[in-house]
Amino acid sequence: MTARVLRAADRTATPWKNGGGVTREIAASPEGAPLDAFDWRVSLADVSRDGPFSSFPGVDRTLTVVEGAGMDLVVGGEHHIVDEPYWPHDFPGDPETDGRLLGGPVVNVNVMYRRGRTAAEVAVVRGTLRLSAPTGGAVLALALEDGAVLDGQGIELGRYDALLVQGDSSGVLRTQGWALLVTLSHG
């Protein structure tokens, strides 16, 4: 199996323009693509106060709260209460979007994928997971808790470490806690 380990400790925090938080990119395709040119992007965000989300025309998003009480996500004027931890919530990146914290800061995983080029499925799971990338796609597994191990490879993942599988690779990840699994394929 060919897999790339992406350690949480190696990520750089990028402050938001509005000062409401920071983002740490976990992975993107193409790698190093600017925000207006990625096919897909997965990041971890620390949200410290209420405020607007950046607009991403032509991009669909999935937000999963992994720490904190959650948010009232207002997408195009419509309220979406996102207060269930580990519950992926899909919304379009085009309309004006605003986030209101429900009880203090939150940490969320943000999956963004360009409509028409990429499709994404996001699930939060635990146990034994077969990681197999779709043809031409990728699978990203993000440990939400300590204790994930890649069978036969001696690779252990701590909290917020990730494993990126691309190409014709596959393997088995065993988790003692929860993990977020993103399957990315051509749209």
In angstroms, the CA 36 to CA 119 distance is: 17
pLDDT digits (tens, 9 = 90+) for 50-108: 999 989 999 999 999 999 999 999 999 999 999 999 999 999 999 999 999 999 999 99
pLDDT digits (tens, 9 = 90+) for 6-30: 999 999 999 987 778 899 999 999 9
The two tokens of residue 1 are 């199996």
pLDDT digits (tens, 9 = 90+) for 117-148: 999 999 999 999 888 888 889 999 999 999 89
Report helix, strand or coil for 15.
strand
In angstroms, the CA 64 to CA 74 distance is: 15
In a domain, 140, yes or no: yes
Cα 42 to Cα 130, 151, 153, 167: the distances in Å are 20, 24, 24, 18
Predicted pLDDT at 135: 85
Q: Report which of 67, 57, 68, 7 is spatially closest to residue 35, judged by C-alpha positions.
A: 57
Same domain, 22 and 77: yes
Q: What CATH number corresponds to the domain at position 171?
A: 2.60.120.10
Range of the domain at 78: 10-114
Say yes or no to pLDDT of 169 above 70: no
Predicted pLDDT at 187: 64
The two tokens of residue 36 are 């207006």
Same domain, 109 and 130: no
Domains contained in the chain, number: 2
What element of type H or E holds 121? strand 118-125
Same domain, 17 and 107: yes
DSSP character at residue 17: T
Residue the block writes with tokens 């897999």: 3
